[in-house]
Amino acid sequence: MEFTTIPKIENHLHLEGAIPYKALWQLIEKYGGDETVHNLDQLKEKFVYRDFNHFIEMWVWKNQFIREYEDFVFISEAVFSDLVKQNVNYAEIFISPSLFKDKLSAQKIIEAISLSIHKVSGIKINLIVDLVRDYGPEEEIKTLFEINEVKNLGVIGIGIGGTENKYPAGLFINVYEKARKFGFRTTAHAGEASGPESIWSAIHDLQVDRIGHGTRAVEDLKLLEYLSEHKIPVELCVLSNLRTRVIHSIEEHPVKTFIEKKIPVSINTDDPKIPCGWMNRRRMNWLRSLSKSLKKSNTNRTVSRVFFEKR
Q: Which residues lie closer than 8 Å to 211 by C-beta, 6 or more apart?
A: 187, 188, 190, 191, 199, 202, 203, 217, 227, 232, 233, 234, 235
Angle, vertex CA 246, rays to CA 199 and CA 172, nearest 5: 30
Are 307 and 92 in contact by the 8 Å Cβ rule? The answer is: yes
**In-domain check, residue 284:** yes
CB atoms within 10 A of CB 111: 15
pLDDT single digits (tens) 240-289: 888 787 888 777 889 889 999 999 999 888 887 643 344 555 556 656 66
- Residue range(s) defining the domain that contains residue 134: 3-306
Residue type, 5: T
CA 164, CA 195: separation in Å to the nearest integer?
9
**In-domain check, residue 26:** yes
Q: Which residues lie closer than 8 Å to 197 by C-beta, 6 or more apart?
A: none
**In-domain check, residue 75:** yes
**In-domain check, residue 311:** no
What is the b/e burial string over 287-309, where b = at least 16 CB atoms within 10 angstroms of the residue's CB?
beebeeeeeebbbebbeebbbbe
**In-domain check, residue 80:** yes
Q: What is the CATH number of the domain that holds 114?
A: 3.20.20.140
Each of the 311 residues of the chain gets a pLDDT tens digit; together they read 566 778 889 999 999 999 999 999 999 999 999 999 999 999 999 988 888 788 888 889 999 999 999 999 999 999 999 999 989 999 999 999 999 999 999 999 999 999 999 999 999 999 999 999 999 999 999 999 999 999 999 999 999 999 898 999 999 999 999 999 999 999 999 999 899 999 999 999 999 999 999 999 999 999 999 999 999 999 998 878 887 878 887 778 898 899 999 999 998 888 876 433 445 555 566 566 654 445 555 444 444 456 654 44
Distance of CA 147 to the CA centre of its chain: 18
Distance of CA 33 to the CA centre of its chain: 27
pTM: 0.89
- Number of domains comprising the chain: 1
Are 95 and 130 in contact by the 8 Å Cβ rule? The answer is: yes
State which H helix or E strand residue 95 sits in: strand 88-95
